[in-house]
Structures are given as structure tokens and as C-alpha cells.
Amino acid sequence: MSAAPAVEVEGVAKRFRMYRERNQSLKAALMRGGRASFDEYWALKDVSFEIPQGSTFALIGENGSGKSTLLKCIARILEPERGRIRTHGSVAALLELGSGFHPELSGRENVFLNGSILGMTKRELERKFDEIVDFAGIEPFIDQPVKNYSSGMYMRLGFSVAINVDPDILLVDEVLAVGDAAFQEKCMEKFVDFRRAGKTVVIVSHAMGSMRTLCDQAAWLDRGSLLDIGRADAIVDRYVDKGHEKGVAPGTAGGANAEARVGSGEARLTTVEMLDASGTPATSFRTGDPVTVRVGYECTERVEQPAFALAMDTVDGMRFWAHHTRDGGLELPFIEGTGHVDLVIPALALQPYTIDLSARILDHTLTHTYDFRRHCYRFVVETGDHRESGGVVALGGRWTADLPASASETAV
Ligand SMILES: Nc1ncnc2c1ncn2[C@@H]1O[C@H](COP(=O)(O)OP(=O)(O)O)[C@@H](O)[C@H]1O
Ligand SMILES: [Mg+2]
């Protein structure tokens, strides 16, 4: 193959317009003399760089820095206002959780729909169908509507379709954060296979540890501009260092991305806090403490079948936990006005660490976000009565030993 880069990004700028009134009626528009009222926001500002062919390339940056927007531009889902993007080879993208999936259709129907959108023929899809379903590990559910899938199943099926398209360039946005460890490992293996086959993978992830070891190169986006580019290990280290430097105080606002907030706003998160055993908000807990996460909401209208989701990241960016009301068996028929939902955690199974909590309100398909507050609450875990030696979680195991008889005797 020639040495031409897989992707060339040249002076790309992307603007979003946010309309001030959500329900624009024709009459209202006419009253204003046809002029729409909106705010402009440049999500990408003159970004230029190249992604070498055959590289595994990380795109990193705080939430809202433009990573997803850039991937969508590369995938030609969005058209930049300025600049241009050249891709050499076929492109498949796994952009958002189950993007391209139709909630009412079954897994099987979605594989065919999604696969054909990604450019596979019906014959190819028929040939690869078993492999796709097998990789996703959702065979028993394949004929159920995907709206009944857990977020993990959604993501696994989406990923499985995207990799089976066998593109020259694979774009993946934040999928590593969602699946379980076994599936993440399978994804990693696929990325390695891709690299071995001389293909290019562009990954957006907050799993800095994985990005550091998996990727050759990285580009760091900061508020829509390219801040740094180079070897992945060096860029990731600089990024993580900067996150630490910020030293946000525990409690009120979270880590590196405290301001990050997105969503359509019909339902909004008001307070997100963690309560101790006495029901008082606290930012410091001990391993094993009972904790209640309280998520307050406010609606501008009645919102049917919402789901609430929480996630925790370590201060160095590892997503180690996520849970939502649907997977937790809490079906909310609707919400209206104001209120709150609680997640009661009997014993906080975490080791001493600084942790950022994120919260989200979603629709029942888990694909539409009403409000998302990333890293909105930071707390620290301190050593409790139960102590383990390292890592993030406290598994609570007990050591036993099958000692030789002589050793047991001396122990008595
Ligand atoms: N469709 C959209 N309409 C309006 N603003 C958007 C849209 N998509 C993204 N944005 C805004 O553009 C910025 C960059 O978003 P995004 O590319 O999703 O960032 P990242 O993936 O790095 O978190 C954010 O401020 C976000 O709110
Ligand atoms: Mg994104």
C-alpha cells in the first residue's frame, strides 16, 4: 500500500446552531419575519492533522471538546462548514450506543438494516450473520425488539456489525466504556487483528490506560482545537497530568469536565448527590459505608418512560461502573414536575480512591439523552474497617490456606 494517510483532516471547522425556542411554530417564525433565533457554536475550529494508514489512533479530550463531532465528519454524517476531509479506503463507524438501530425492530432485522447502511449486501450479511450474532453473544435475544436490550447488548451488537463490515478504516466512539470486561477484551483483540491486517482504527475513549497501550498515536482535542498530537503514550500522560493539575475540590463540581452537559432538556437533572447513612450529602466515604445516590430532576413537560443512569470513573479516567434504572428493574411509567430517584447502595465496595460520578436521563430506548451531567459529583473513598491492598474495588474475599499439617500444628 502507498504511504498516503488513511485520513487527512484539513482546516476543518464545524458549527452548530442551537435554536432558542424548542417548539418553532411556523406562525412564530413568521412573526419574527422569518428570521430564526439561534446561538452559534463552533464545535471544531480549524483542525488539521493526518491519521497514518495502519495505525491505531486515539482521539482524546474532555467531554464537549469535539471528538464525536470530528468522527461524524470523518464518517460523512456531518458536513463541516470549512475545510475538508479525505479518507483513503472504506469507512465503518460505530458512533453512539446503538446508533442506527431501530428500537421497534428485532436484533435480526437491525443487523440487516444497519449492515446495509454500512454498505454490506444482503448476501454478505446472510453469510456473516451467525458470526455477527455470535461475537455479540446475544443469540437467545436476536428475535426480540432491541428496545428490550440492555445497553451492553445494544452496544455489543452494534460493534459486532461494524467490525464485520470489515472496513479499511474503523471509527469507534466510546464503546469500551460500556461493555463488560470480557467483551472489552474481545474488542481489543479485534483492534489488534485490524492493525495486523494493515487497517486503521480511530478510537475515542476515556479509558486512558487502554488508549495508552493500544494506540500508536493520539490527537488531543481541546474545546474544538487540536492541542497536541504524537505518540499515544506521551499524549495520554500529558492529558492525565493536566487532569490532575486541575485539582477540582471534591463535592460540588467534578473532575476535568465539570461543565460538560448535553441533552435535549425536556427532563433535566437538578441535584446529583451522595448521601451518607444519616441522609446528609457527603463527599467522603469509607469502604463499606452505606451510600444513597440521589438524582433530582425537573421536567418542562411530562416525560414518558424515562431511564436514569449513573456512572463512575476514577480520577484518572477509568470507567469502572455504570448502572441504569432499566437494568436495575425499575420501570418508571412517566415523570412530571420535580422529584428524585435514589440508588441505594448497601455497602460501598470501593477502595480508597477519588471518583467522579456522572448522571444521565434517557428515553426508554436509551438512545436519546434528555440531560447528561458528566463528572458532576466528585467524592473520595477512605480506608474503612475492611481494607484490601490495591485497585478500585473491594471484593470482600477471605483468604484461607490449606496448610501442611506441620504448619497448622505450630499455628495452634
Ligand atoms: N447536534 C448538535 N447540536 C448542537 N450542538 C452540538 C451538537 N452535537 C454536538 N454539539 C456540541 O458540540 C460540542 C462538541 O460535542 P462532541 O463532539 O459531542 O464532543 P465530545 O465527543 O468530545 O464530547 C459540545 O459543546 C456539544 O454540546
Ligand atoms: Mg463524544
The DSSP secondary structure of 19-77, one letter per residue, reads ESSSS--HHHHHHTTT---EEEEEEEEEEEEEE-TT-EEEEE--TTSSHHHHHHHHTTS
The residue whose CA is least distant from atom 8 of ligand 1 is: 69
Asked if 15 and 39 touch (Cβ cutoff 8 Å), the reply is no
CATH code reported for the domain at 7-245: 3.40.50.300
Cell representation of residue 139: 443469540
Using alpha carbons, list the distances in angstroms from residue 315 to 152, 206, 309, 361. Answer: 23, 11, 19, 23
| Domain ranges across the chain | 7-245, 261-382
- The alpha carbon of 68 and the centre of ligand 2 are apart by a number of angstroms equal to 4
CA distance 318 to 176: 10
- In this prediction, residue 77 carries a pLDDT of 85
pLDDT at site 260? 60
Is residue 163 within 8 Å of residue 170, measured between CB atoms? yes
Predicted local distance difference test score (pLDDT) of residue 153 = 82
Give the number of the atom of ligand 1 that is nearest the alpha carbon of residue 261: 27
Q: Which three cell numbers stand for residue 241?
A: 497530568
Sort strands 56-60 and 217-222 into parallel, antiparallel or unpaired: parallel
Q: List beta partners, residue 91.
A: 169
Q: Which protein residue's CA is at the shortest distance from atom 18 of ligand 1?
A: 68
What pLDDT is stored for residue 112 in this prediction?
A: 93
* Residue in 40, 172, 220, 262 to alter for ligand 1 test, most ligand atoms within 8 A of Cβ: 262
Question: Which residues of the chain fall below pLDDT 50?
Answer: 1, 244-259, 412
Yes or no: say if 334 and 364 are a contact pair by the CB < 8 Å rule.
Answer: no
**Ligand 2 center to 77 CA (angstroms):** 14
β-bridge partners, 343: 293
Which triple of cell numbers denotes residue 294? 440521589
> Which residues make Cβ contacts (< 8 Å) with residue 193, sequence separation at least 6?
none
Q: Helix or strand or coil: residue 339?
A: strand
Q: What are phi and psi of 320, to 5 degrees?
A: -110, -5
Let me know if 178 is exposed, middle or buried by CB neighbors in 10 A (0-12, 13-18, 19+).
Answer: buried
User: How many angstroms does the Cα of residue 61 sit away from the middle of ligand 2?
Assistant: 9
Q: How far away, in angstroms, is 262 Cα from ligand 1 center?
A: 8
Would you call 167 helix, strand, or coil by DSSP? coil
From the CA of 72, which ligand is nearest? 1
Give one DSSP letter per residue of 180-246, joined into a string. Answer: -HHHHHHHHHHHHHHHHTT-EEEEE-S-HHHHHHH-SEEEEEETTEEEEEEEHHHHHHHHHHHHHHH
Ligand 1 atom with least separation from CA of 65: 22
Contact of 324 with 308, CB cutoff 8 Å = yes
Report pLDDT for 258: 41
Q: Let me know the angle formed at the C-alpha of 353 by 352 and 354, rounded to the nearest 5 degrees.
A: 140
Q: In angstroms, what is the span from residue 199 Cα to ligand 2's centroid? A: 23
Q: What is the pLDDT of residues 85-101, one digit of tens each?
A: 999 998 988 776 556 78
Q: Per the CATH hierarchy, to which homologous superfamily does domain 261-382 belong? A: abc- transporter (atp binding component) like domain (2.70.50.60)
What residue type is assigned to position 358 of the chain? S
Query: Cell digits for 187?
Result: 474488542
Give dist(CA 298, CA 317) in Å, integer: 29
Check if the beta carbon of residue 14 is closer than 8 Å to that of residue 78: yes
Q: Which of 290, 293, 274, 271 is nearest to 282 (CA)?
A: 274
Closest listed ligand to the CA of 65: 1
Lookup: cell for 109: 432485522
**Pocket of ligand 1, candidates 15, 16, 74: which has the most ligand atoms within 8 Å of its Cβ, to mutate?**
16
Position 256 scores a pLDDT of: 39
164: left (phi over 0), alpha (psi -120 to 50) or beta: alpha
Distance CA 175, CA 155 (A): 7
CA angle 11, 90, 200 (to 5 degrees): 75
Among 19, 44, 69, the mutation site with the greatest number of ligand 1 atoms within 8 A of its Cβ is 69
Q: What's phi and psi for 327, nearest 5 deg?
A: -65, -25
Task: Return the pLDDT at 344.
Answer: 97
Question: Ligand 1 pocket: which residues have CB below 6 Å?
Answer: 16, 18, 41, 43, 61, 63-69, 262
